[in-house]
Amino acid sequence: MGRPTTTGAYSMTDRGQDDKAVQHALDEFDRQERLVDQGLTMQARLRDRDRVAGTLLVCTVLIASLVGVAVAFAGSGPAVTLLGVTAARSTWLGWLAVGTAALTLVELVVDRRGAAQRRADAVRVLGALKAEYRVPPAAGQEVAEAARLSERYAQVMETVPAVPERSFNRLKAMHLRKVEVSKLLSEKPGMSSWRAGRTIAKRHKPSRP
């Protein structure tokens, strides 16, 4: 009798290993895509927040400067009344100059507009990466594509600004609500976004003990 063949056993074992590797690659695809989508929402929200804060700060500096010019040319009396407070013209000019200089220094140090630009760059990069995950890998290329995207994912995540720890859970909750609202609107296109948000809030309202 000849030696028993083991070709069939090896083929089944290899196939089982391949199936596990493919499933792991697909699971990693889904996990990374969810994290990229979540990061995209967080960075967009922080971008908008920093943009609004930076714009308000700059507008405050400009308005304070204009008020200072107005006080300098307001009438000929020694005293000027602003917001119900009367003081010498020189006093108002001094405080306005100090306030304007202080706000300018705060704007330079905090640099909310620069932070908003960095967040905007992160949104653009994450959006491009998210688009790559939307293309399903070709049959037989799942493992190789997962390895490529994992490397790309790590590179992108190292470059985007970090999310503040105190804001992470709040932004994550907001993202998850957005996903649920988006799904509900896809199921019921005639529903308003406000009503969809209310429906999701009621659906996940914690029950009383």
Question: In what helix (H) or strand (E) does residue 55 lie, and over which residues does it extend?
Answer: helix 7-72
Residue 166 and residue 183 in contact, taking contact as beta carbons nearer than 8 Å: no
Report for 12-21, 64-73, 86-95, 159-168: range of highest mean pLDDT? 159-168
Mean pLDDT for the chain overall: 83
Q: Are 75 and 158 spatial neighbours (Cβ–Cβ below 8 Å)? A: no
pLDDT interval class at 7 (50, 70, 90): very low
**pLDDT at residue 11 above 80?**
no
Give tens-digit pLDDT for 52-107. 999 999 999 998 888 888 877 766 667 777 777 777 777 878 888 888 899 999 98
What is the average per-residue pLDDT within 4-13?
Answer: 39
Record the pTM.
Answer: 0.76
